[in-house]
């Protein structure tokens, strides 16, 4: 089954404790992206990757890191989480960068709480 | 950057009713998608529709790119249609391929 998976689905942590949210897709998609969803603000892009070893900042990259060492994986790293990073996080992928017709497929979401 | 406005913000209907959700955007786009976020938080793509009209069962969508708006129609609503509907656009130009800009969503509640 074609899908985007994220782990963990739920996480409660404390300020400053490094964490990683994993994202994996099995569709051989080139393009992957991370969004955060906050009440009243909708979804905002954090980082995106056009292919292996190619990443760039989205609209709200502060406090986050990403890496793309393999095509299927795009982990989101919070080196020193803070309470304002409490949010619902989505990973998404689409077949190719610069393909206007591509649909983005979203993972199930990771609900993160930073105390 | 491009602005995306959705209306109405909230909509409460009885089962069987029809509804129209609107998405206005402030600049030309190469990509426009409608998503449904179910009560469990999952985002499901409904339509890729940068222009024209598409239909899928009880749902249909129309985008008039020259006038910068898109409409999502839901006919004969069912309780399973409840959730938040998002419009997302990809701005024209190279930036457009790199991200989707989301509207704030329309929260639809269908009562039995």
| Angle (CA) B30 B62 B32, round 5° | 25
Instruction: Give the pair of three-digit tokens for residue A64.
Output: 């986050």
Output the pLDDT for position B13. Answer: 96
What would the mean pLDDT of A71-88 be, rounded to a whole number?
97
Query: Residue A59: which pLDDT band, with cuts at 50, 70 and 90?
Result: confident
Q: For B80, phi and psi rounded to 5 degrees?
A: -70, -10
Which residue in the set A41, A58, A90 is minimally distant from B99, CB to CB? A58
DSSP letter for each residue of chain A: ---EEEE-SEEEE-TT--EEEEEEESS--SEEEEEEEETTTEEEEEEEEEETTEEEE-S--TT-EE--SSTTB--EEESS--GGG-EEEEEEEES-TT-TTPPPEE---EEEEE-
Nearest-Å Rg of the Cα atoms of chain B is 14
Q: Which of A10, A29, A31, A37 should one mutate to test binding to chain B, selecting the residue with the greatest count of B CBs within 10 A?
A: A37
- Which of 1-30 (A) contact B at CB < 8 A? none
- Which residues of chain B fall short of a pLDDT of 50? none
* Structure confidence at residue A96 as a pLDDT band (50, 70, 90): confident
A68 touches A53 (CB < 8 A): yes
Name residues 6-45 of chain B within 8 A of A (Cβ).
30-31, 33, 35, 41-45
Indicate the helix (H) or strand (E) that contains B17. Answer: none
Residue in this structure with the two tokens 């998503």, named with its chain if needed: B35
pLDDT at B20: 97
């Amino acid at each position: 089954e074609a899908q985007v998976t994220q782990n963990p689905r739920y996480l409660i942590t404390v300020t400053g404790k490094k964490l990683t949210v994993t994202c994996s897709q099995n569709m051989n998609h080139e393009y992957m992206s991370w969004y955060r969803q906050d009440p009243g603000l909708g979804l905002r892009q954090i980082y995106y990757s056009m292919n292996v070893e190619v990443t760039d900042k989205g609209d709200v990259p502060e406090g986050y890191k990403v890496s793309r060492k393999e095509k299927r994986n795009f982990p989101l790293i919070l080196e020193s989480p803070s309470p304002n990073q409490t949010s619902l996080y989505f990973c998404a992928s689409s077949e190719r960068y610069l393909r206007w017709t591509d649909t983005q497929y979203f993972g199930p979401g990771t609900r993160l709480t930073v105390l | 950057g491009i602005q995306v406005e959705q209306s109405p913000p909230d909509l409460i209907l009885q089962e069987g009713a029809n509804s129209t959700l609107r998405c206005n955007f402030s600049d030309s786009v190469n990509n426009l998608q409608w998503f449904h976020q179910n009560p469990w938080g999952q985002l499901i793509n409904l339509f890729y529709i940068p222009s024209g009209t598409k239909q899928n069962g009880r749902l249909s969508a129309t985008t008039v790119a020259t006038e910068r708006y898109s409409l999502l129609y839901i006919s004969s609503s069912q309780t399973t249609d409840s959730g938040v509907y998002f419009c997302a656009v990809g701005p024209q130009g190279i930036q457009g391929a790199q991200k989707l800009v989301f509207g704030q969503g329309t929260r639809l509640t269908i009562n039995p």
